[in-house]
Structure 1
């Protein structure tokens, strides 16, 4: 059986995912409420749907960040990049170092507020790149440097 990756993402990810979900869900619910109020003579069941949407949004904001934090894991070794992510479904990805083509880091404005960064490892794979979201910014810098050093010594051409 495959072991899980060794490291969790930063605990700050919970706050980041909560605020991200809150922003999106508030906009969604406000849009639904405004649409319901603007439509003249909207049936009462539409209001119930808007209320249901609001309850689902609250559950999403409260539950999703904590579940994601427990699930999201990552590890970089001398031979592979290994990730696991998801909160409803689960995805595990393993890419041999010999298949790594590029390593990128990203830090959006909201991530910067939480001291987080993400790295993306592009591989010679039809499955697409591997992303490790919500690492502590300093950890992300070290991971990028380590992957760069490891791949520089790899003799294969990542194709």
Structure 2
């Protein structure tokens, strides 16, 4: 029986900068759109600038705080028996995927992740809760992890359902 316990490994420290960049870019896009519209639409300028101010006042502190909190919370571990993950911000989720239940293992690297030499690993099972995701891994470690999980699941003759 596999029991729920805190995973041991932190994500890569570079993930904080990646998440920070991602969050602030997410805030910057609507702020820039609102600023451009304020320049182009004179009668609506005060309302558009107010909306831009609200987006920045809420989005910037959120975008700065969340990456550091995620780094503090996000953990992962792979043992011979299972994959353990802990993630979340306000709602934290601890998950276990027994090796015998793993169906697929995938890795993904978006353009921004590539810039920071990071990857995400997704472990899919037949669980209704969906796949386990380990985000913010060094891209070389992620490749090694996928290879290890693939070998482990290949040699483990579980039912994967």
Q: Give me the TM-score of the superposition, normalised by structure 1.
A: 0.90
Q: After superposition, where does 1:87-106 map in structure 2 within 5 Å?
A: 87-106=89-108
What is the deviation of 1:102? 0.7
The aligned residue for residue 130 of structure 1 is 132
Q: Secondary structure at the match of 1:103?
A: strand
What is the deviation of 1:41? 2.8
CA distance in 1, matches of 2:38, 2:4: 49
The aligned residue for residue 73 of structure 1 is 75
Does the CA-based 8 Å contact 2:37-2:48 persist in structure 1? no
Summarize deviations over 1:121-146 as a string: whole Å, max 9, x none: 11111111111111011111121111
**Structure 2 runs not aligned, ≥5 long:** none
CA distance in 1, matches of 2:62, 2:132: 25
1:63 aligns with one of 62, 65, 68: 65
**Structure 1 runs not aligned, ≥5 long:** none
What is the deviation of 1:95? 1.1
Does the CA-based 8 Å contact 2:38-2:44 persist in structure 1? yes
1:48 aligns with one of 39, 42, 50: 50
The aligned residue for residue 13 of structure 1 is 15
Q: Give me the TM-score of the superposition, normalised by structure 2.
A: 0.89
Residue range with higher mean Cα deviation, 115-124 or 31-40: 31-40
What is the deviation of 1:107? 1.4
Summarize deviations over 1:36-85 as a string: whole Å, max 9, x none: 44444338465434312111121122111111111111111111111111
Residue range with higher mean Cα deviation, 32-41 or 123-132: 32-41
